[in-house]
């Protein structure tokens, strides 16, 4: 399994249930990685999507313990064990964990690749991703070139960011 996440300098990923920033290049990168594949997410993350609807052109698997929770177009599993059972019929190289914080925390041990967009800014955050730079289990495989946000399309003007890839050792 793989994962996709955008983090700030402190490995923050969200605040009050929302992304820290919306950056068109990052959203396109996310789409290029996940389109045509399977995404795993929590119900709180799904609720932040437009209309609370699943992502198009992807198989959406939602982790939720809510009784009767059945978003249209999603496969719902209630535990990590049931998720792993569901994934037995999938090519795990085409499965991407996309959040939120609890889902990342639970599934990080099952992931071998992390696609991390690093925002060169400290945001106010209340949700975090583990610092892979400080982890002995992960190594930075590639560090993309520094880019800058577009004030016409992005919520954070003039913010530097990079696309990074980490591999489990």
pLDDT tens, position by position, 87-101: 999 999 999 999 999
- Structural domain harbouring 79: 2-168
CATH number (domain holding residue 62): 3.40.430.10
Average pLDDT, the chain: 97
Residues with pLDDT less than 70, the chain: none
Which residues have CB under 8 Å from 79's CB, separation 6+? 63, 65
pLDDT in tens, 71-92: 999 999 999 999 999 999 999 9
- The pTM of the full predicted model, rounded to 2 decimals, is 0.96
3-class DSSP assignment, residue 141? strand
Q: What's the number of domains the chain is made of? A: 1
- The percentage of the chain sitting over the pLDDT mark of 70, rounded to a whole number, equals 100
């Amino acid at each position: 399994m793989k994962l996709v996440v955008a983090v700030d300098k402190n490995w923050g990923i969200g605040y009050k249930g929302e992304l820290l920033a919306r950056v068109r290049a990052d959203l396109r990168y996310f789409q290029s990685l996940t389109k045509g594949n399977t995404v795993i997410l929590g119900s709180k993350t799904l609720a932040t999507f437009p209309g609370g609807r699943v992502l198009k052109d992807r198989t959406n698997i939602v982790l939720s313990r809510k009784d009767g929770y059945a978003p249209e177009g999603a496969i719902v599993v209630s535990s990590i064990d049931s998720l792993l059972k569901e994934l037995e019929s999938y090519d795990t190289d085409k499965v991407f964990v996309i959040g939120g914080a609890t889902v990342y925390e639970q599934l990080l041990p099952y992931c071998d690749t992390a696609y991390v967009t690093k925002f060169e800014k400290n945001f106010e955050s209340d949700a975090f991703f583990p610092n892979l730079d400080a982890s002995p289990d992960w190594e930075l495989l590639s560090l993309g070139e520094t880019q800058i946000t577009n004030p016409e399309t992005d919520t954070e003007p003039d913010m530097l960011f990079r696309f990074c890839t980490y591999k489990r050792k």
